[in-house]
Amino acid sequence: MDTIIPAEWNTAGPLQKFTARLLTGCVLLLLQIVEPLPSLASLNRLSSSGDCIGFLRGERFALANMGNDGSPDAERSLSLPANDVDSAASRKEAIRILSTITHLDSSNWWPHIRPALFLENLRNNIYHPLSIYQGSNTNFCGYAALTYLPLHDDPAGWLRFMLAIYRDGQASFNGIAFTPSARIHVAAGTLVFKGVLDIRPADQLWFLMLADHFRGYLNIFTPRFRDGSEDTFWAAVNLGKFCRMVRRLGGYKTHTRGSDLIRPSIHELYDYISSSMKTGITFLYVDNTYLYKKNHGTLKLHIPTHYLVLTDIRHDDGPDGLLTITYWDYGGKSLRKISEEFLKKITYGVVHCTKTD
**Considering only CA atoms, which of 221, 204, 212 is closest in space to residue 166?**
204
Q: How confident is the model at residue 86 (pLDDT cuts 50, 70, 90)?
A: confident
Residues 94 and 227 in one domain: yes
Last residue of a domain, one of 215, 239, 263: 239
Q: How confident is the model at residue 229 (pLDDT cuts 50, 70, 90)?
A: very high
Q: Is the predicted pLDDT of residue 57 greater than 60, yes or no?
A: no
Question: Amino acid identity of 165?
Answer: I
Residue 94 contacts residue 292 (beta carbons within 8 Å): no
Residues 97 and 226 in one domain: yes
Q: Alpha-carbon distance 41 to 289, whole Å?
A: 10
Residues 115 and 210 in one domain: yes
Mean pLDDT of the chain: 80
Of 65-74, 98-107, 179-188, the poorest mean pLDDT is in 65-74
Residues 150 and 298 in one domain: no
Question: Amino acid identity of 237?
Answer: V
Q: Alpha-carbon distance 255 to 3, whole Å?
A: 12
Q: How confident is the model at residue 25 (pLDDT cuts 50, 70, 90)?
A: low
Q: Alpha-carbon distance 336 to 322, whole Å?
A: 10
Asked whether residue 48 is assigned to any structural domain, the reply reads: yes
**pLDDT tens digit sequence for 95-139:** 999 999 999 999 999 999 999 999 999 999 999 999 999 999 999
Residues 327 and 226 in one domain: no
Q: Alpha-carbon distance 265 to 202, whole Å?
A: 39
Q: Alpha-carbon distance 239 to 207, whole Å?
A: 17
Residues 268 and 310 in one domain: yes
Question: Please, which residues bridge with residue 284 across strands?
Answer: 308, 350
Q: Is 138 left (phi over 0), alpha (psi -120 to 50) or beta?
A: beta
Residues 130 and 266 in one domain: no
Return the higher-pLDDT residue of 284 and 303.
284
Strand order in the sheet with 306-315: 52-57, 332-338, 323-329, 306-315, 281-286, 347-355, 252-258
Share of the chain above pLDDT 90, in %: 64
**343 Cβ contact list (under 8 Å, min separation 6):** 269, 270, 323, 325
Residues 258 and 120 in one domain: no
Residues 20 and 89 in one domain: no
Give the pLDDT mean for 58-84: 39
**pLDDT tens digit sequence for 244-290:** 999 999 899 999 999 999 999 998 999 999 999 999 999 999 998 76
Return the higher-pLDDT residue of 77 and 230.
230
Phi first, then psi: what are they for 278, rounded to 5°?
Answer: -75, -20
Of 148-152, 189-193, 295-299, the poorest mean pLDDT is in 295-299
**pLDDT tens digit sequence for 154-170:** 999 999 999 999 999 99
Q: Which domain holds residue 261?
A: 7-59+251-355
Residues 53 and 185 in one domain: no
Q: Is the predicted pLDDT of residue 83 greater than 90, yes or no?
A: no
Residues 139 and 174 in one domain: yes
Question: Please, which residues bridge with residue 189 across strands?
Answer: none
Asked whether residue 265 is assigned to any structural domain, the reply reads: yes
The CATH number covering residue 50 comes to 3.90.70
Q: Alpha-carbon distance 22 to 30, whole Å?
A: 12
Asked whether residue 128 is assigned to any structural domain, the reply reads: yes
pTM score, two decimals?
A: 0.78
Residue 11 contacts residue 225 (beta carbons within 8 Å): no
CA dihedral 112, 115, 120, 124 (to 10 degrees): 60
